[in-house]
Amino acid sequence: MTDERRYVHPLLALLVAAGALGCPGQAIRFGAVLPLSGHAEVYGQAIRKGIEVAYQQAQKDPAFAQLQLEFVDSASDPERAKTELRKIYKGGAIAAIGGVTSAEALAMVKVADDEGRVLLSPSASLPQLTGISENFFRIFPSDFSEGTVMARYAYDNLRLRAGVILAKEETYAMGIQKIFGDEFQRKGGRILETIEYPANTAEFAALADRAVTLKPDFAYVAAYAAEISQMIQDLRAQGFAGLILTTSSFAAAETIQRTGAAAESAYFTQATFETEGKKITPEVQVFVEAFRTRFGTAPDLYAAHGYDAFNVLVEAYRQGGTTALSFWKGMRNIRELRGVTGVLQFDEKGDVTKFPHVYIVTQGKPVDVEERRQEEILRARQEIERIQREMERLRNSGS
């Protein structure tokens, strides 16, 4: 039985065999330490699928005929993630994808520094990670941007004035809820109460009941996928009539589906990623088609970030080389790489410049509220023009 904690990609055996037969070029080895089990599994599994699609595409390039990729399960445990990352580097990986959660990323950075290797996070968003190490990079926007965008949208666009915050006592959730709360209050709104709960709580119904008794305009939920889903369902079951706002942790397609009808009209923030419509780029079309072919479903936001993360490592190798120093320089040399989650380029602190958008769940699917507004404006203009044409026709006919 395969040990899920240390998974070698099925193609790796073929690659090693090819190297043994004397294929030209030096072997390139990447690792990925992901939460393939545990509370963050929904993100780790999606990211893994995105990485696998990018890996398969890279194999078509002769320059990567000896590319080796190893997946390892962190089990959503920061200490285990740190241990497994060290093994990945000791095994010869010149770079690794890891730090799916902010807690894991914080633990793993020291290992990257000890070994002098690149660590690329596909989804960690804690503001404290900005500039934490010259070896750490990430392609997900900071919680500072996400929390601020939602707070301003709530106050300015939704005209909300008083709300409650429900936040898990965990690094990521505590950070983003404070950013949201501080900005909402700076704008002039009121946070009636911040309800914090332990990581191992199962009393979501009681927490939801407390929120309902305060009669807020909205509830802002800060946690990870399973807790957000349960909290939204319990809020609706308790008769909560206000708006529900949450974070990009809710953006996993599986989470929205699991939440069901209770998710309808919930607002959340995420980096822009669309799988259909007139505005999708050629890069996204290629990715979506390849993902559907392999897994039978459309990719979600996290699969897209896994895909982009692996392609960033490939590009860094093209720009740099196989030594730790040359590869690091390759990361720094990346300029305007067109990814499926946007244009990728790192600033001096290892962050990418991305601005999250606000989405609303509509008929079980996430919809960009700004794009929807623009579409509604366009439809209204077209209707006005139709009425004007009809009126002109009637005038001309003497009616």
Give the integer Cα–Cα distance in Å for 224 and 170: 9
3-state secondary structure of 240: coil
Does position 256 have pLDDT exceeding 50, yes or no?
yes
pLDDT tens digits, one per residue of 166-178: 999 998 999 999 9
DSSP symbol at 275: S
Q: For the range 176-179, what are the long-range contacts, defined as Cβ-Cβ under 8 Å and sequence gap of 24 or more?
A: 176/125, 176/143, 176/146, 176/147, 176/222, 176/247, 177/147, 177/220, 177/222, 178/147, 179/127, 179/143, 179/144, 179/146, 179/147, 179/148, 179/151
142: Cβ contacts below 8 Å, ≥ 6 apart: 125, 126, 127, 129, 130, 351
pLDDT tens digits, one per residue of 15-49: 333 333 233 346 789 999 999 999 999 999 999 99
pLDDT of residue 392: 80
Give the integer Cα–Cα distance in Å for 26 and 222: 45
pLDDT of residue 5: 45
First to last CA, the chain: 81
**227 vs 27: which has the higher pLDDT:** 227
pLDDT of residue 337: 95
Give the integer Cα–Cα distance in Å for 318 and 333: 10
> Average of pLDDT values for 52-59?
95
pLDDT of residue 3: 44
> Average of pLDDT values for 112-117?
97
Write out the H or E segment, with its range, that includes residue 339: strand 337-339
Does position 65 have pLDDT exceeding 80, yes or no?
no
**113 vs 16: which has the higher pLDDT:** 113
Give the integer Cα–Cα distance in Å for 66 and 26: 7
* Residue 374 pLDDT level (bands cut at 50, 70, 90): low
pLDDT of residue 99: 97
* Residue 76 pLDDT level (bands cut at 50, 70, 90): very high
The answer to which of 91-105, 258-272, 341-355, 360-374 has the lowest mean pLDDT is: 360-374
List the 218-222 sheet strands across, edge first. 190-197, 162-168, 218-222, 243-246, 267-270, 357-362, 365-368
> Average of pLDDT values for 307-324?
94
Tokens representing residue 191 in the block: 């946070």
pLDDT of residue 372: 67
pLDDT of residue 18: 32
What percentage of the chain exceeds 90 in pLDDT?
74
- What does pTM read for this prediction? 0.81
**179 vs 19: which has the higher pLDDT:** 179
* Residue 88 pLDDT level (bands cut at 50, 70, 90): very high
pLDDT tens digits, one per residue of 193-210: 999 999 888 789 999 999
Residue (of 129, 171, 167) closest to 246 by Cα position: 167
* Mean of pLDDT over the chain: 89
pLDDT of residue 391: 84
pLDDT of residue 381: 77
DSSP symbol at 32: E
* Residue 347 pLDDT level (bands cut at 50, 70, 90): very high
Sheet strands (E) in 180-237: 190-197, 218-222
pLDDT tens digits, one per residue of 275-287: 776 678 899 999 9
What percentage of the chain exceeds 70 in pLDDT?
91
